[in-house]
Amino acid sequence: MTSKTHNSNMVNGQIKPINGISERIVSIFHSLDRSSFMPKELIDNSFTEKNLALPNNRVILRPSIIAKIVMHIDLKENENVLILGSTNGYLAAILSLLAETVIVIEEDDDLMRISEENIKKNEINNVIFFKKNISEGCAEQSPFNAIIIEGAVESLPQTILDQLELGGRLLTILSENGICSAKLFTRKESMLQTKPLFPCSVPVLSSFKQKNIFSF
């Protein structure tokens, strides 16, 4: 089978059945060949429904988790989104077809290079990369309509939340007592609204370990 066929099978088998997912999101996953974003050593596992391990405790998230993140962040075409941690650029590519601008922060040289090459290879021109510590966010480009942390966190610095505009939302995978689940946080005038989304198993990003600046 061709890569395109494998990609179509992945979408139809792992993404289309997700409850509540839109036809538009499904069509975007069809339009981007996931294998074109994979490092050579992982290309044979491009369409597998599991997280793929990378060096330094990083992972490429399984297709269904990426799809659920995209669905729940619910981007509009005039919005900007910040991604903290890029891995291979696949999530950024998907979101680039939904949002006006995608800002990506990555601290790992290899992942930064791979992500930039993949975005360029797929002829996407509304994704901007910055090399810096992912736990800092990108205050100079804020405020953001949406922020996504591509990996799990034990805690979240207030400085990240401050980069959300009022009404903006942040989606992350929160590790509490070793159990991970995705959560959506919406910034209100004087409070933070929290919504649990789905359980998952993802390693905690080293940059977000034991930084108890903001506790849930």
Assess whether pLDDT exceeds 70 at residue 9: yes
116-157 residue pLDDT tens: 999 999 999 999 999 999 999 999 999 999 999 999 999 888
From residue 61, alpha-carbon distances to 21, 53, 100, 150, 210 in Å are 18, 9, 23, 8, 22
pTM above 0.75? yes
175-184 residue pLDDT tens: 988 899 999 9
Domains and CATH numbers, the chain: 3-208 (3.40.50.150)
Distinct helix (H) and strand (E) counts, the chain: 6, 9
Q: 50-59, 142-151, 202-211 — which one is most confidently predicted on average?
A: 142-151
**Rounded mean pLDDT of 31-39?**
95
158-174 residue pLDDT tens: 899 999 999 999 999 99
Say what the pLDDT of residue 212 is: 45
Q: DSSP assignment of 127-189, as one string? A: EEEEES-GGG--GGG--EEEEEEEEEES---HHHHTTEEEEEEEEEEEEETTEEEEEEEEE-S
